[in-house]
Each structure stands twice: as structure tokens, then as C-alpha cells.
Amino acid sequence: MILHFDADAFFASVEQAADPRLRGRPIAVGGERRGIIASASYEARKMGIYTPMPTARAKKLCPGLIVLPCDFDKYERFSHLMFSYAYDFTPLVEQASIDECYMDLHGAPRLRAGDAAAKMQKAIAQSLKLSVSVGVGANKLVSQIASKLRKPHCFIEVSPGHEQGFLWPLENKWLPSVGPQLAARLDTAGLRRVEHIAHTPLEELALLVGSGAPALHEFAMGNDARPVICEAPVAKSYGEQETFDQDTTDTTFILARLRAMIDGLMRRVREDGKSIRTVTLRLRYNDMDEVTRS
């Protein structure tokens, strides 16, 4: 079985864990004046705050919102401590991001995935004061979706052979590579749910998805052969992309998003001990690309 665990509102939760005075209060991590919200506590989310909302708008929605600057060194420390619990159960751990990882439990047949998940959730909550959501399935796809389906602090286990029963009622946006634009295109074609995609012939799906149709169809069928990779290969290049739900011409918002993405990329570069020769920023709008280099 593959176990995927994902921290809940990680940046904001770390700030609350580090400072007891912030617990139970609406807080957010991001730019105070000119920027966006990078992470919001669940108390803030109840007030309508979400990522990546402009900070100015968030403050209007929630005048009592506490906005803190990003502290990546702190988040990385908590990340390392959090992931250390995974190695108590298996050496086959793949860190997918700063706040989520996959664990392959196939080599520990006597260990019940549910028991491992419960023990990790409890240990991380007690020692680090963080909440994590856990999904268990026969492959990466199912376990990841299960961990994100009912946040926060959820646990969902999908037994082998029940992948389609779990996936098919879900909206198409839950499948990998289905962003807002593709989801809207699939909705228009009547493929609103995963089951609809699974029942669509490949040649018809390719008209909507292009070369990604075979992979998308396999995911919709509940199949995923991707292995848990303990150590990611060294990257020759680093990339990041984000698609906004709506078109925007707000320069302040766009620049804030670019700064946040660059901060994340540079953190990865530093972790790998690399140097940067060229940075390419590519903005895509109205099906056109505008490229700047520095």
C-alpha cells in the first residue's frame, strides 16, 4: 500500500505551532502590503480567506487577520521533523513537496496502513502541534487524492480493487494535470466527473486533451504505475507554473505571484547546491507568450 500524508495549511500551521498566542486565531502568511496570501489558517478560511488572494482584499474581509512574512527556514525545519516520523515505518519515502510525502509500505506486510497513519497523525500533533491529512491506496494517485479530499486532519483508506468506486464520483479537477481551463473544457464536453472520462474512447478524449489523453484515461480508470522514488534525480533546470482561475491585468498581483514562485524555486536551487546562470520568466495570456530574461 502507498500512504500519502499532507500537512494542513502548512505555513500558517507552523506559525501557530511556533507561537501559542496565534493558535485559534485567523492568521495568514504572505505579503503585508503589496502581495498575496501564501497560506491561511483554517480560522482565516472560515472568513473567506484563500490562496492566492491579494493581501489587501484579505484584510478587508477579515480586519483582525494577522499577516506574517514567509519564513522558509522555519518551514524547512518543521518539514524535516515532520518527515522524520515517516522513516519510523519504512525507508521508502518520497518527499513530494515541503509539506507532503509518499510512503511505500509494500515492504512491511505486517504493518497495517491504517495503524501507521493513526500513529503518525498522533505523534506529529503531539510533538509538533501540526495537523496532517493521510490517504492510503494501492497507488500514488489514489492515496494523494484521498489525503486531500476531506481536509483538515482526515484519514481515508481505499482498499485495493475499490479504486474506481472511490474515484468515479469525483469531479474531473481531482485528476492530475486537470487545471481550471481543462476542467472547464471537459465540463463543456459533458465529462464533469472522473467516471465520464473513464468511459470516453481515447480518440475522442484526445480531441480535448491532446497527447495527454492516454495518461488521463489511465488515471480515470484508477491505474497509476508511478513508483515511490526515495531520492529525486538532480534537476538540470527548475520550473514553476500557475494558472489563475480568471484572467487578470493586475500588475501588482502578477508581480507578487512571480516573487513568491521565484522564492520557492530558489529554495529548491539552494537545497541542491546549484548556481543559476539564467532566469526566464514566461507569462502566458490570451494564448500568447511574453518572455523576459535576467
List the alpha helices (DSSP H) in the chain: 10-18, 42-45, 55-61, 72-84, 113-128, 140-148, 163-167, 180-188, 194-198, 202-209, 213-220, 251-271
Catalytic-role residue among 100, 195, 203, 271: 100
Distance CA 129, CA 13 (A): 8
Closest CA to 260 of 69, 26, 59, 96: 69
For residues 62 and 76, the answer to whether their CB atoms sit within 8 Å is no
Contacts of 276 (CB under 8 A, 6+ apart): 266, 269
- Cβ atoms of 222 and 175 closer than 8 Å: no
CA 179 from centroid of its chain's CA atoms: 13
Distance between CA 287 and CA 217 in Å, rounded? 26
Euclidean distance between CA atoms 40 and 79, whole angstroms:
17
How far is 91 from 231, CA to CA, in rounded Å? 11
Strand order in the sheet with 155-157: 93-97, 100-104, 2-7, 132-137, 155-157
Q: Is the peptide bond between 52 and the residue preceding it cis, with omega within 30 degrees of 0? A: yes
Told to judge if 100 belongs to the known catalytic residues of this protein, a careful annotator would answer yes
Question: Nine-digit cell at 277?
Answer: 546562470
CA angle 160, 101, 183 (to 5 degrees): 70
Continuous segment of H or E residues that includes residue 67: strand 66-68
Q: Which residues are known to be catalytic? A: 100
